[in-house]
Chains A and B, each alone.
Chain A
Amino acid sequence: MTKTILDPDEFAQQRKVIFTDIGLPGSGYARYSAAMYFHKLGRLSLDLLEIYRRCSKWDHEDPVILASLEGVEPVTPDELKFA
């Protein structure tokens, strides 16, 4: 397997997207697609990815709130720093 070289600009962009303001048009899909990016990097759990998927159809649905309700650990901006 080839090792993917992490692009800091892409990382920063996806970090911005996953924390897009709740309610913006298209933000549900955008957050989920960014969550997929971080999951692939091993920075976001499978359970949390599924929370983002379930919220993706509704731009007003906050994955952090749903994660808390279901006992899934959300990610914070501090946890998603480039390293």
Chain B
Amino acid sequence: MSMSERDVRIPEDWDRSGLPGWCYHSPALLELEKEELFKTHWQIACHVSDVAEPGDYHTFDLCGERAIIVRDKAGIVRAFHNICRHRGSRVVANEKGHCRNALVCPFHGWVYNLDGTLRGAARPDSFPELDKHEFGLKPVECEIWHGFVFVRFKAGPQPSVADLMRPFEEEAAAYRMADKVPVDEIWTEETPVNWKSVRDVDNEGYHVAMAHPALQDLYGPSYFDEPFVDGVSRSFAEFSRDGARRWAVRNYIKMSRPPEYLPEHLHQAWVYYGIFPNAVIAMTPETALFYQEFPVSTGASLLRSGTYRHAAEDRQQKAARYLAGRIDRETVEEDIQLTIWSNESMESSSFEGFYLSDLEYGVRSHHDHLRDVLPVYNVEHAPREEDVTSLNASLGDNVG
């Protein structure tokens, strides 16, 4: 399917409600989300340029699981569980780094080759002969899409990342994202809201004119959202070359100079792909970036983001990237506040749920995707915590 063949129309008579409030503070539901959403769906761990050289590694923790992404001696990017086969210790303890020669578990000193096979156990005389494959690091399913390293901890309903993103292949390829390099380290910040409140804000542009003065100044009139269809949404906006009032926006527009390989119709575009359930890849003429959120608890989430630039960037492009980053940082701070306001309403006895605009159909389409995975989201009033899992299973049986 191509991008133009996606049915992104908003239905005539759609249910404008959101998820029931209890879904935002139920520990039992959160456990289901961890197992059936986060571990079974593709997650962006890093970019190939975060592990540019053999021996470079980056770790990625998610809902009790932990992965290590490492480039082996042959240059292949591999993903393993960051768990020593001896006692389960983290094989690498730092978030990122470079291991010279091999991975050495800091607990007892088991040594693993960069392809994950066991080189040898510490004090090998205290063990029988160990098969290097049987006792090698366990692989994590891994796929690279335009430079972004995706991992999946458990088999799930999504196709390969390439198939999932197929409608956008031509547009994404134009940005040559695999060739980009990190602007900085991957950024993380904990925020005091349920993860779905982050996504609810991010899945609609209705709030842009009110809440994001810089974005509105940059591209407000042209912005539009396409809802989630088969697991992916798309938002698109173009800035114009005149009329901006804010300093950063005005100078960004002045400085922005797309790379020579970018097609003309994308020269002023900011494009966002929402990848169900919890990630976005965004492209501007200057950068490609990802952001995502993970549950820490029902009332706390970890925001995580990485930004990548052209490897050969001149001073003007660097200045434009700096200004784009400034606009983005301002937007993120504003969004964080919006998510807090939205999330706190879920605890109020007077909260009667969302009543969504046509401009927020993206929120509904995300919720519908959630309902397809966990039918218990359809239950209007909070079930007893101890019944959530069985209720979800029985509703799934009824649907099936």
Residues of B contacting A50 in the complex (Cβ-Cβ under 8 angstroms): 123
Which A-chain residue is minimally distant from B123 (CB atoms)?
A: A50
Query: Does more than half of chain A's interface fall in helix, strand or loop, or is it mixed?
Result: helix
Q: Chain B: interface residue count, which band?
A: 10 to 19
Partner of A33, one of B102, B123, B124, B125: B102
User: What's the Cα separation between A29 and B91 when bound, in Å?
Assistant: 12
Are B99 and A26 interface neighbours, CB within 8 A? yes
Partner of A30, one of B101, B109, B119, B124: B101
**Interface positions of B from 99 to 122, Cβ below 8 Å from A:** 99-104, 106, 109, 111, 119-120, 122
Most A-side CB within 10 Å, residue of B102, B103, B125: B102
CB distance from B311 to the nearest CB of A (A): 25
User: What's the Cα separation between A55 and B303 when bound, in Å?
Assistant: 38
CB distance from B94 to the nearest CB of A (A): 11
Residues of A contacting B122 in the complex (Cβ-Cβ under 8 angstroms): 53
Partner of B101, one of A17, A40, A49: A17
Residues of B contacting A30 in the complex (Cβ-Cβ under 8 angstroms): 99-102
Are A36 and B111 interface neighbours, CB within 8 A? yes
A27 with B119, Cβ < 8 A, contacts A36-B111, A46-B125 known: no
CB distance from A34 to the nearest CB of B (A): 6
Residues of B contacting A57 in the complex (Cβ-Cβ under 8 angstroms): 106
Does B98 count as interface, using CB distance less than 8 angstroms?
A: yes
Are A56 and B101 interface neighbours, CB within 8 A? no
Partner of A36, one of B99, B100, B120: B120
**Interface positions of A from 10 to 62, Cβ below 8 Å from B:** 14, 17, 20, 26-27, 29-30, 32-34, 36-37, 39-40, 46, 49-50, 53, 56-57
User: What's the Cα separation between A37 and B101 when bound, in Å?
Assistant: 10
Are B123 and A36 interface neighbours, CB within 8 A? no
CB distance from B113 to the nearest CB of A (A): 9
Most A-side CB within 10 Å, residue of B100, B101, B104, B119: B101
Which A-chain residue is minimally distant from B125 (CB atoms)?
A: A46
Residues of A contacting B106 in the complex (Cβ-Cβ under 8 angstroms): 57
Are A29 and B99 interface neighbours, CB within 8 A? yes
CB distance from B270 to the nearest CB of A (A): 40
- Extra contacts, 18 of them, besides A33-B104, A40-B119 (Cβ < 8 A), are A17-B100, A20-B100, A29-B99, A29-B102, A30-B100, A30-B102, A32-B104, A32-B109, A33-B100, A33-B101, A33-B102, A33-B119, A36-B119, A39-B120, A49-B124, A53-B109, A56-B104, A56-B109
Q: List 27 A-B contacts (CB under 8 A).
A: A14-B101, A17-B100, A17-B101, A26-B100, A29-B100, A29-B101, A30-B100, A30-B102, A32-B104, A32-B111, A33-B100, A33-B103, A33-B119, A34-B101, A36-B102, A36-B111, A36-B119, A36-B120, A37-B120, A39-B120, A39-B124, A40-B119, A40-B120, A49-B124, A50-B123, A53-B122, A57-B106
Residues of A within 8 A of B (CB): 14, 17, 20, 26-27, 29-30, 32-34, 36-37, 39-40, 46, 49-50, 53, 56-57
